[in-house]
Chains A and B, each alone.
Chain A
Amino acid sequence: MNDYILKTNHLSKKYHHTTALNKVNLSIKKGSIYGFIGQNGAGKSTLIRLVCGLANPTTGTIELFGENNERELIEFRKRIGTIIEGPALYPNMTAAENLEAHRLLKGIPGKDCIAKTLTLVGLLDTGKKKAKNFSLGMKQRLGLAIALLGDPEFLILDEPVNGLDPMGVVEIRELLKKLNQEYGITILISSHILSELHLLATHYGIIHNGELLEQLSAKELDEKCQQYLHIKVNNPNKAATVIERHFETQDFEVMPDGSIRLFASVDLPGQVSKALADEGLVIEQFMPMGEDLETYFANRIGSGHYG
């Protein structure tokens, strides 16, 4: 049995002289929530567009549900729900009418699914309001409702929380978690809000300049995110000397605000604080900290900051 919902093999896409994707080998395990991370123009949307059949690859293959035959791929796309570069809505139709158009397209029998899906995304009470009069958040929810029609096995969501208010972000996160955990839906989600992605994803793929730099699980990411001791004392220079001498390491950084990030001896906080105190230093702040996804990503793509 195939464990992977999606696999790409040396997938490349070139536009004239620009390489949008370069030999990408991506794999998404069944049942996972795959956070797809990359800057604007990194190649996220290009890959999503290739998987959804909106563009043809220059070289390489796409395997969906274990099949890479073009005819089978078209058929298997019926098992996918998508939001690609924003929700695709008919502005002069209501939420229910938009869903009806997609229900007919997907050949879903019965209209019960419309009210059920609208309830799921919190849009049941929008009545006769046209989609063009919806807020950005409501449009995102409707886009998600369309993607969810027909109980897809795989959801591809490009920036699904764009424009949502904080409560909306939490609701969509909980909904996606529920869909993943209770219904076993595999989700590929790209988002610029990495802190949000961190709360959701079970696996990550980092793409930069069309190349997939790394794929890792959330567990591996946690292990890789560098842990350190955040130390603030009354005399940072002396503290640095003490650390160097006492722990025979230079694996620390003195930050512009005078605080110290000690990457070594993270598992020995008691000994570190004792050594500093014994040298007469006044400890103002002392706590273990770690890199977050945003910092890890910025370091991975070799940029000082993300965005």
Chain B
Amino acid sequence: MGNLLKTEWYKLKKDRSFWLLTGLLIALAVLYPIDKIGTSDLPNENDYYRGFVLSINSDIVRLLPAILAGFFFASEFSLGTMKSIASSGHSRIRIYFAKLTVFSIGSIIILLLLPIVMMGVSAIYIGFQIWPEWTFYFQTIGLIALYAVAFASIMALFSVIFADSGKAIAFLLLFLAFIESMLNILSAKVPFLEPIITHSIFISHGSILAIDKIGNWNGDAVLTFIIVPILTFVVLGILGSFIFRNKEIK
């Protein structure tokens, strides 16, 4: 497993799509807050962080790992390199989880760039009065990372199913863009699915920027924001590895 993880990490470091996304997000993080310099009525503390940083992350940036999934995961099939990996003497399950692990790390890096870099740059430009409460800040960082991993397991699953970078990217972008509204319609029409849908990561991820501090969480919040993403990762990870184990690699 160690060799597989080292290989995947090496490939992630060489992945152009990863560096392109990282570069674009760093540029956005540095340039976007310039517009706010000198603005007198800026919201303070958590509101700046929520309104200008997390909202962009939640609306747009969360889709970007789909591009990485296409190039880092699905392209291994279209390039034919998955044949070398699958015949290298490692079990398919290990190959899948090594790739999923490193892809998850890549997704976490992409999704944490704005909360870390943009927030830091904003504080330098505007002043530290806009810095959110530390508990809330670390809570969102942790939840973004957790949700990144959960979403990565979905993206990896579809990458293996499509086995083609173009198809995987197109499907995942559409899927992630519309799944929330589709699930909302579904929960309205089929009431018994409503609790499941409400607790799913597709719906709950939007609440990361709005939820209360972790100290005030009840059991339901723990289930929704901690247990469900972990379960999503575990269940879809196992499902993906099972599909990959039985997949004919062409």
Contact = CB atoms under 8 A, between A and B. Distances in A.
Interface in B65-117: 79-91
B40 interface: no
B16 interface: yes
Contacts of A100: 10
B3 A104 contact: yes
B3 A90 contact: no
Contacts of B7: 101-102, 104-105
Contacts of A49: 248-249
A101 B86 contact: no
Contact of A104 (B10, B83, B86): B10
A107 B87 CA distance: 14
B88 A90 contact: no
Interface stretch (A78-86, A178-186, A228-236): A78-86
Contacts of A84: 80, 83-84, 87
A90 B11 contact: yes
Contacts of B4: 105
B84 A90 contact: no
A33 B85 CA distance: 24
A176 interface: no
A77 B85 CA distance: 11
Nearest to A13: B248
Contacts of B86: 52-54
A52 B249 CA distance: 10
A93 B14 contact: yes
Given A54-B248, A90-B79, A93-B14, A102 B89 contact: no
Contacts of B81: 88-90
Contacts of B16: 92
B91 A54 contact: no
B167 interface: no
B84 A88 contact: yes
Contacts of B79: 88-91
A86 B84 CA distance: 11
A54 to B, nearest CB: 4
B88 to A, nearest CB: 5
Contacts of B213: none
Interface string B1-16: 0111011001100101
A292 interface: no
A67 interface: no
Nearest to A53: B87
A76 interface: yes
Given A54-B83, A89-B79, A90-B81, A106 B11 contact: no
Interface in B1-52: 2-4, 6-7, 10-11, 14, 16
A78 B88 contact: yes
Interface string A60-82: 00000000000000111111101
B14 A105 contact: no
A16 B81 CA distance: 26
**5 A-B pairs closest in CB distance:** A78-B89, A52-B87, A88-B80, A107-B3, A77-B89
Interface of A: 49, 52-56, 74-80, 82, 84-93, 97, 100-102, 104-107, 146
19 contacts: A49-B248, A52-B86, A52-B87, A53-B87, A54-B83, A74-B90, A77-B89, A79-B89, A82-B83, A82-B84, A84-B87, A88-B79, A88-B84, A90-B11, A90-B81, A93-B14, A100-B10, A104-B10, A105-B84
